[in-house]
Amino acid sequence: MKTLQLIACALLLAFILPKCASGQEGQTGKTGEKTYYYGVEINDVLCGYAKVTSVPEEKDRKTIDKLDGTVSLKLSILGGGMDLTGTYLYLSDPSSEQFFYNTTTVETGGTKMDFTSEVVHDTIYFESVSAKETKKIPGAKNLIIENPLTTIHIVKDFIKGNATEKTYSFYDPARGEVQEKRRR
């Protein structure tokens, strides 16, 4: 269980840190396609990287953002005794920057975990194949369900608005849970 908690923490860091770290953007082949590269630090030690490719696509006659990402963490550098690789796919609405579909795979040693989240109307359906767990989470319209490249709520409240502190309800796609986070 301790190993799964460590993996979950590392996964969360891998998805949160790219928002905070500086990255390098590159243009690739498809129109509108962009690839971002990030270094991942934990406790001031560079121990991995993240690569995220964003490309607009058409789905049901609407333009959506498709994000494909890979995170590689060498936790053995930190004395963790294992390394971690995660891959994910997010499909999101470019106007709200909220995702409506996510699938994530995390591999470490001989362990593989798969998570899927899908937003249908006002409900999030979460499935973890490896943990044999499914959840149905109502109230999606009141949650922040953002893709890993955006923080539209921070821009709206702190940069464009005049907030100095705010508490948000986030959906965590790695755990299939709603979490409260206070930002300053």
> What are 10-27's pLDDT values in tens digits?
444 444 444 444 444 555
Name the domain count of the chain. 1
Burial of residue 178 (CB within 10 Å: 0-12, 13-18, 19+) is middle
Quick one: tokens of 56?
Answer: 């607009």
pLDDT at 1 over 50: no
> What are 127-182's pLDDT values in tens digits?
998 889 999 999 999 999 988 777 888 888 999 999 999 999 999 998 999 999 88
Q: Report DSSP state, residue 139.
A: -
> What are 52-76's pLDDT values in tens digits?
999 999 988 999 999 999 999 998 8
The confidence band for 29, taking pLDDT boundaries of 50, 70 and 90, is low
Domain holding 94, by residue range, is 2-183
Whole-model pTM: value is 0.79
Nearest alpha-carbon partner for 170 in 146, 147, 144, 149: 144
User: Within a 13 Å sphere around the CA of 37, how many CA atoms are in the beta-carbon half?
Assistant: 6
Predicted pLDDT of residue 6 = 42
Quick one: tokens of 115?
Answer: 């998570």
